[in-house]
Structure 1
């Protein structure tokens, strides 16, 4: 304003001046010109003001007419000027604005004389905003006038925005070459200016807090800043609607080509790709990007905020966007761009009407899956499936889609299973995909259909190395997971594939599944930890089958290496979470829960198992539901949460689950619950069924499901010590590498079936083995029994020491029933008399029930009948009660009778 006022003073003194105010749109040019016109009028200068517009750029003399019509002239001067304008318009109108170039020089001279003579009476300020939109005739008049007004009291101020596509290039050129013309360029606001404006409107404290982000979002553009402040004043999230409107206003004020460039950038969201499209639809990309940066809409080639981009997209419309993406896809394909880049455009265009679209989408999906990016791969395959007309190719795409979605939700594409089964019967499905189909059917418990598919796999015998590897891997997986189905693959694998000709991914998968099968059949070999960890080190969830990782982890778990498995499991869980592979995350979480259980961390095992069951639905778990469900049931039973355990026992499970490895875990867990609630007969049935299946399937190894010790414990609770002893000894005879946990439990059962004097030695051995295994819960149980054993032989001091350690372990594990039985007042020394108020903390629930009935005079046989247990079990409970209360006769129970009742 100071510069313009200086020029005005010079013009008033008789030295005509011209000012060209330039800058990108929305930097305040119009505000400056309007304010200048007002101030000129205040100092006695006559302002003639006009605003050009794109809509009137073809209206001959439209701007010049505004100058005279809007000016505060006398009626005589205005009428004279309008008469001249009407004469000139009459000449110009028949031929448009170009016709004025041929107008009579006398008419032009007359019109200019009106203004020059007017300036002699009063200095003039001619102000034209957005002169780049002015009609050609008006511009010719103005240039003619200003060449003759160099020594007249006339000042002209024209505003012109950068990059507006002015078609009348002669006018700014003509003005700038005049020696009395000055350029005034407006730049975006500085950070300090933004702070000042915001502070005036919102207060200094608010401005100090918000301006850093607002400056980054507006680039100093006053119009964008105005939108941000209005959004803030409206409340809620910002930037929002008014900021978006300001973005569109900036674009619509600019040249249409710039608007089109912004639309392409909004649609593609990739400045490099937009730059490659230079020339498409006449887009001048590099200069357009520079202007969009200068106006404050872009930073580093991208919109400063998603609201800006989404506003441009919303105005663009869905049909137009799809056309842009389609043209981009065609261009990229013609240039030989990567399949993923082309597929991205095809997805956004929802377009497959060219022969190359479906193959590109399939190839791009495989690339995405190799990188662990499941969601885009699924989107590509869905579009490819919709656009595929070839039945054989459609079957391949459907199989790949089923595999891809399996990583997220195994229950999400069950409709494809039926379609693929039909394709297999019709010979349109290849061997590897057919093998996966069989596994999918087994996962969902559809055993009958799976048998049919497995029988059809014989048709692929003798195929190439890849097919043979798939079939061999499927057979090994069946051996580990659904052993009863293995016979249906007899004759399918005619030869084992040579690993030398297989891809590393496939070779490693085969090695991992075979390692697990070996552990379940023969027990862990000495080299197992090294082999499993080598496989895991070379594996990644992005490009490896889940089978590879899962099989190697389970081989470690069943091989007695739970701690190592837990560490690796945490690593792969991080990968699964980062990639959004929910099904893989759930399966890894279930394995991690099992490792926690085998380490005796009951609370963590329960939490992880519950999490695994929540990440994907029970239906998505299929028959594998038995895995995390068993872990949860074992953990909460050991923690004494019997009501929760009862709910889990009553949870519906798939019918085919008991024909799988997962069903064995479930039977063991359900039996443990039955023991805990004093129902040993039902527990025995579950344990024996589990044992029968383990033996039949040749999976009878100590590190998997040591069912003999569970059966032995049930027999002890039923009073059959001889059978229990034989089972424990048989389990110990199967000892081998990695069986420390099973050996320790077997020794504990052997001690329970042995004479009292032999128990301490056996329980010390059990505790040593369990210490090695790392299972703190089983170690706490062993130490509990050792405490009782020391009491039984009268070594009370040792009993007290062991009881303290057992109690600490039980509390650490979260085993509430065990820690209650090992309370500070438990296992008293010689001369102890139980206080009635402390009996509850000393005795278990079962012991308290038996002792309570004995206190009021029931015989052992009557107690057994009332509690539905054997007489031998009653005698065992009473023996423990006598030891814990340090009494020797039934009559002494009366001292604590009320508390027990």
Structure 2
């Protein structure tokens, strides 16, 4: 690939976004004689596409002659054509006219006849030379002649190519690549070209990639499937979708951990600060230096202004007269240094070209250009506050930078663009020489805005610096420290530090009950870390006292948003009273954000304790409130709660894909990612994908309870124990369950214990520990007492059934299981209900009851949910009863489509499972699995498991 005279071959392992163009090129190449014109701007991928064409199997065996025009000042006439011909070997005897080629192609002297007498007329001599080239090409049979960068060709080569195209040899495919914007007069061959009769012709214009194409290219370059849409969108914006620029930037940031998973704000910061790659910088500088002074000044003005600008603004910043500026702008456009971006606005093709040009401007000149830009933009309405602040800062005008930067941050915060507001305030706080009053004011705004947004990576260090560099007034340290603590709560490994910071902040905020109350509310939250419930209750009681005394509606909503959910999480009915007392109307966007928190936090509590219908209702209202007022962090946690609630209520269709996408979007937010990892682990376990499940459970931080979200960690221990037991690893299942029980007992929130206690009782019974199973069931009954947690009631009945079944008392077990099933269905929790119904059916089977149809129906239920492993287990139980499945006569065959079992096998195959493992997961014989595998490979037209895995990832 060529850009500005510098050549580099793309390294993407696959061709991205060019399938239609490749088909068009190949169609033309197969209809020789043919002429194919491939045009596109610098770096768009012409060379890569041509290379891909020549590698097509349909062209195998055809000689390929290639040459590249060079941007030389004194080109050798016809040089590029002769460069392509120097290695050919004629396939037949040549006519005498070809002898004229000997002086031009000494490498072919042994194959050429004696030259004819040299004519006296130069035009006749040229005609002989052209005929000789055509005959030499005609002697080669079917072949491809590729001439790259035709825009740099000399006039003689253009004339020779036009001659060849008027009557091309029968086997010739002539492929020409060029940049139209750099061809003389926009005509690549120097004059108009009309295809000769009988000659196929194709003109293919290669355009930049769209956002999806950029995303696919980044994925191919890095071998990374989960490139975030936000990163791709920002990269597309910065590179204009030009593949060469995309590739260079990806190489420049390839070592930045998690770069391609970044959210919008992080991607913007990353791409705004990445250094312009050397090849791109050199190409831009080369073009700039070739411009006359006035045109270069126009380009420099465009680089300083940063966004496409009108010709009069460019002229004013460059300090050129209108007429001189017009001529300079036209020349910059003709040389493709600048482009027209919208009617009457001019700028650089992409951000990195602008950045490279900007760096060529000497410092004093750059400062003066910024000064002029700021002066001009002050008088233009509407004012662009962000641009004004940037120009003032780079012009050395600190007062102007502060004035316009703070105004821009306020404006961004008002419209809900918290990422921009956070970035602006952080930049202002990094400026040296701020007055103490300015530091205080900006720090408070920064802390407040950051807590409502999603930014993490750079915000926490900035707050830590404010608390240690001595610039912040002591009276405000508590407020800033509270913000730091609230942000640390969201970070992996930050929960213990968060609690410490918040406790210090609460002590410093005695004169700010609203802020102190919010800190106390976080300390009261039982779902954070390994702190015992008794400690949380102490803070809950203090917050309750503040709520009773509060007269300000905003303060009351803030306090209720934390404490209502905290009460509901521990099964305390006072949480419902708090919800009923919450205001239904708000007077400001800030009040609405906290009301959204109240609804979404309470929905989360309902999901964990079994109030699934209330969880759905509160989520709907909370997410609407959050979306309407601009509360992205509240939205992020609510979306995770929605995924969890969908898991609980059996809405599994597309759930894994949604959860995976949210992890990519919010990967820096532990409260979100840990809950999503839990759901993905549970889904994988239900499908029998043990390695995937184990990897996802590891993402819940279950092994670091002091820095985990406790209900997630407890549920993860339950999921891991159940997964191990499903693999007949009973002792390991007991060990895993007991780790969870240790955390549950230390924490003391038994309202979260339903799944874990069921898993532990099941593991105890499976390993012959009936007494321990009974003791745990009794303990659970005592601890849940009269807690308002419906899931614990269902689990308690299930535990009684498990213990009774293990003792062999099947009648008692059936009664308990039926009670548990009814309670789970009422939540609703259809997956749990089906699992318990299966337990009851097995007890009935032990009593010699006819339960074949029950197992068949349960298999259908599990299949509908997507619980592959459970469905297979029930089908196996159905077969073990001796029952025969109804005949499929009359039902349609699957033909070339995969059957449901084949889809299960294909999924497990693609995940890397062996035939033996698939047989164990699906309760099938090895022979049956082998047959399914063969059928899957045949129907999907793949030759191997690895090819199937590649097909799945693509």
Give the TM-score band, short-chain normalised.
0.5 to 0.7
Counterpart check, 1:324 vs 2:369: yes
**Paired residue for 2:465?**
419
Offset at 1:807? Answer: 0.8
Aligned length: 611
Q: Tell me: CA distance 1:307–1:472, structure 2 relative to 1, closer, same or farther (3 Å).
A: same
2: CA distance between counterparts of 1:502 and 1:333? Answer: 40
Find out whether 1:689 has 2:742 as its counterpart.
Answer: yes
Residue 515 in 1 paired to residue 564 in 2?
yes
Q: 1:622 offset after TM fit, Å? A: 5.5
- Separation in 2 of the partners of 1:685 and 1:757? 29
Greater fraction helix? 1
Partner of 2:829: 775
Q: 1:627 aligns with which of 664, 675, 690?
A: 675
Q: Is the 8 A contact 2:492 2:707 kept in 1?
A: no
Is 1:355 aligned with 2:408?
A: no
1:399–1:815 Cα change, 3 Å: farther
What residue in structure 1 maps to residue 644 of structure 2? 594
Show the 5 A alignment for 1:869-884. none
The answer to whether the Cα contact below 8 Å between 1:684 and 1:711 also exists between their aligned partners in 2 is yes
Change (3 A) 1:280 1:771: same
1:385 and 2:433 correspond: no
User: Post-superposition shift, 1:688?
Assistant: 2.6
- 1:437 — aligned with what? 484
Which residue in the other structure is 1:726 paired with? 778
Q: Which runs of 5+ in 2 are unaligned?
A: 1-184, 209-241, 247-279, 885-915, 925-954
Equivalents in 2 of 1:438, 1:307: separation in Å? 43
Q: Which position in structure 2 is the counterpart of 1:637?
A: 685
CA apart distance, 1:788: 1.4
Cα deviation for residue 814 of structure 1 reads 3.6
**Structure 1: distance between partners of 2:376 and 2:548:** 43
2:249 is the alignment partner of 1:200 = no
CA contact (8 A) 2:447 2:483 kept: no
**Partners of 2:505 and 2:194 in 1: how far apart?**
75
Q: Hey, what does 2:31 align to over in structure 1?
A: none
Distance 1:391 1:531, change over 3 A: same
Question: Counterparts of 2:651 and 2:350 in 1: how far apart (Å)?
Answer: 52
- 1:345 is aligned to 390
Task: Select the residue among 411, 421, 427 that pairs with 1:367.
Answer: 411
Aligned mate of 1:307, from 333, 349, 358? 349
For residues 389 and 207 of structure 2, the distance between their equivalents in structure 1, rounded to whole angstroms, comes to 35
Return the offset for 1:594.
2.0
Q: Is the contact made by 1:248 and 1:312 (CA closer than 8 Å) also made in structure 2?
A: no
How big is each residue's C-alpha offset from its partner over 1:189-237, in whole Å with a ceiling of 9 and x where there is no partner?
xxxx999999924869979876999xxxxxxxxxxxxxxxxxxxx9999
Paired residue secondary structure (1:823):
helix
Counterpart among 753, 756, 760 of residue 814 in structure 2: 760
* CA separation of 1:288 and 1:502: change in aligned 2, threshold 3 A: farther
Post-superposition Cα deviations, 1:769-793, rounded to whole Å, max 9, x if no partner, equal: 3233343321221221122132233
Following superposition, the deviation at residue 630 of structure 1 comes to 3.5
1:57-83 deviations in Å (ceiling 9; x for gaps): xxxxxxxxxxxxxxxxxxxxxxxxxxx
Question: TM-score with structure 1 length normalisation?
Answer: 0.53
Deviation track 1:309-345 (CA, whole Å, cap 9, x = no partner) reads 9878866744445543343335555889758345553
Counterpart for residue 787 of structure 1: 841
CA distance in 1, matches of 2:760, 2:605: 25
Instruction: Say which of 660, 678, 682 aligns to 2:730.
Output: 678
How much has 1:802 moved relative to structure 2?
1.7
Pick closer, same or farther for the CA change 1:362–1:199 going to 2, 3 Å. same
Find the partner of 2:859 among 798, 807, 830.
807
Structure 1 residues 365, 610: closer, same or farther in 2, change over 3 A?
A: same
Q: 1:410 aligns to what?
A: 456
Q: In the superposition, relative to structure 1, how do residues 207 and 252 fare at CA in structure 2: closer, same or farther (>3 Å)? A: farther
CA distance in 1, matches of 2:496, 2:441: 23
Shift of 1:598: 1.2
Pair 788,211 (structure 1): closer, same or farther in 2 beyond 3 Å: closer
Question: What whole-Å deviation, never above 9, does each CA across 1:833-878 have from its counterpart, x for those lacking one?
Answer: xxxxxxx99x999x99xxxxxxxxxxxxxxxxxxxxxxxxxxxxxx
Are the structure 2 counterparts of residues 650 and 594 from structure 1 closer, same or farther at C-alpha, using a change threshold of 3 Å? closer
Partner of 1:821: 873
Aligned to 1:307, the other structure's residue is in SS state coil
Deviations 1:283-302 (A, max 9, x none): 77899899979999757644
Q: Deviations over 1:375-404 (max 9, x none)?
A: 543442343133143457547656765776
User: Conserved in 2, the CA contact under 8 Å of 1:606 and 1:635?
Assistant: yes
Within 1, Cα distance between the matches of 2:243 and 2:794? 67
Q: In 2, are the aligned partners of 1:528 and 1:556 still within 8 Å (CA)?
A: no
Counterpart CA distance in 1 for 2:636 and 2:482 is 23
Indicate if the aligned counterparts of 2:697 and 2:716 stay in contact, CA closer than 8 A.
no
Instruction: Give the Cα–Cα distance (whole angstroms) in 1 for the partners of residues 835 and 863 of structure 2.
Output: 12
Structure 1 position 714, deviation (Å): 4.1
Counterpart mapping for 1:104-503 below 5 A: 200-201=192-193, 264=301, 267-268=304-305, 298=340, 301-303=343-345, 306-307=348-349, 317-318=360-361, 319=363, 320-330=365-375, 332=377, 340-343=385-388, 345-346=390-391, 350=394, 353-389=397-433, 390=435, 393-394=438-439, 397=442, 407-408=453-454, 410-416=456-462, 418-422=464-468, 427=474, 429-442=476-489, 443=491, 445=493, 449-450=497-498, 452-464=500-512, 466-468=514-516, 470-477=518-525, 484=532, 486=536, 495-496=546-547, 501=552
Q: Deviation per CA, 1:608-660, whole angstroms, max 9, x where unpaired?
A: 5555555566xx45687653444344333333333444455667754622685
Distance change in 2, residues 1:591/1:452 (3 Å): closer
- For 1:586 and 1:566, the matched residues in 2 are separated by 16
Are the counterparts in 1 of residues 862 and 871 from structure 2 also a CA contact under 8 Å? Answer: yes
CA 1:659/1:728 → structure 2, altered by over 3 Å: closer, same or farther? closer
Going from structure 1 to structure 2, the CA distance change for 1:435 and 1:379 (only over 3 Å counts) comes to closer
Instruction: Extract unaligned runs of 5+ from structure 1.
Output: 1-192, 214-233, 833-839, 849-901
Contact persistence 2:750–2:784 (CA under 8 A): no
Cα distance in structure 2, aligned partners of 1:358 and 1:417: 19
**Closer, same or farther: CA 321–369 of 1 in aligned 2, 3 Å:** farther
TM-score, length-scaled by structure 2: 0.50
Q: Distance in 1 between matches of 2:340 and 2:309?
A: 14
CA drift at 1:689: 1.8
Contact persistence 2:412–2:418 (CA under 8 A): yes
Task: Check 1:709–1:519 CA distance in 2 against 1; reply closer, same or farther (3 A cut).
Answer: same
The question of whether the paired residues in 2 share the 8 Å contact of 1:633 and 1:669 is answered with yes
Q: Report SS of the residue matched to 2:398.
A: coil
